[in-house]
């Protein structure tokens, strides 16, 4: 692959990622949630079983202080709550509230809508192949903000 082709590929992938992030966030906001993309990336880490602010910082690639501020914000907005950590008395576990789970479901709906234009353009089978190839290159993460 030539340098110019590599640059074109990276530009296309970054543009697609940025467009998806915007479309998903716009869809979530249109469904009545007051969020920004960083919240969605945090929810992706919190969704399975919760996480500490330290875990969240590592996942997002940000400082512990920035993660703490993000946690403060999503707790204040009602999307998450702090609970005692079951395995570490010094730590607090941050878990999604019902509002946080509802926002996560809204993001899933918005993600489906965001890729519909790709299906219309390429066809469902080509999008499945694209998804498979991208999973081989970057198998699920970590999902980090693009801001």
Write the DSSP assignment of 41-72 as a string of letters: HHHHHHTTT-B-HHHHHHHHT--HHHHHHHHH
Sign of CA dihedral 21, 46, 136, 124: negative
Q: Residues 6 or more apart from 51 whose CB is under 8 A from it? A: 45, 59, 93, 94
Per-chain mean pLDDT for the chain? 91
**Residue 80 and residue 78: Cα distance in Å, rounded?**
6
**First CA to last CA distance, the chain:** 29
For 19-72, how does the pLDDT look when each residue is reduced to its tens digit (9 = 90+)?
999 999 999 999 999 999 989 989 988 988 899 999 999 988 899 999 999 999
Which pLDDT band, with edges at 50, 70 and 90, does 146 fall under?
A: very low
Q: Is the pLDDT of residue 104 over 70?
A: yes
DSSP states along 69-88: HHHHHHHHTTSEEEEE-SS-
* Whole-prediction pTM: 0.84
For 76-91, how does the pLDDT look when each residue is reduced to its tens digit (9 = 90+)?
999 999 999 888 888 8
- Mean pLDDT across 122-140: 91
Per-residue pLDDT, 141: 64
Q: Residues 6 or more apart from 114 whose CB is under 8 A from it? A: 19, 20, 23, 24, 27
Place of tokens 């469904």: 31
Which pLDDT band, with edges at 50, 70 and 90, does 143 fall under?
A: low
CB 52 within 8 A of CB 92: yes
């Amino acid at each position: 692959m030539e340098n110019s082709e590599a640059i074109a590929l990276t530009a296309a992938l970054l543009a697609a990622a940025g467009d998806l992030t915007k479309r998903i966030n716009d869809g979530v906001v249109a469904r009545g949630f007051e969020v920004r993309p960083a919240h969605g990336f945090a929810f992706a880490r919190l969704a399975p079983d919760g996480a500490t602010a330290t875990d969240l910082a590592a996942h997002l690639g940000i400082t512990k202080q920035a993660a703490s501020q993000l946690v403060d914000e999503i707790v204040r907005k009602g999307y998450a709550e702090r609970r005692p950590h079951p395995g570490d008395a010094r730590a607090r576990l941050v878990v999604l509230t019902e509002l946080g789970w509802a926002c996560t479901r809204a993001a899933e709906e918005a993600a489906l809508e965001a890729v519909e234009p790709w299906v219309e353009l390429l066809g469902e089978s080509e999008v499945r192949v694209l998804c498979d190839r991208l999973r081989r290159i970057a198998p699920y993460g970590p999902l980090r903000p693009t801001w």
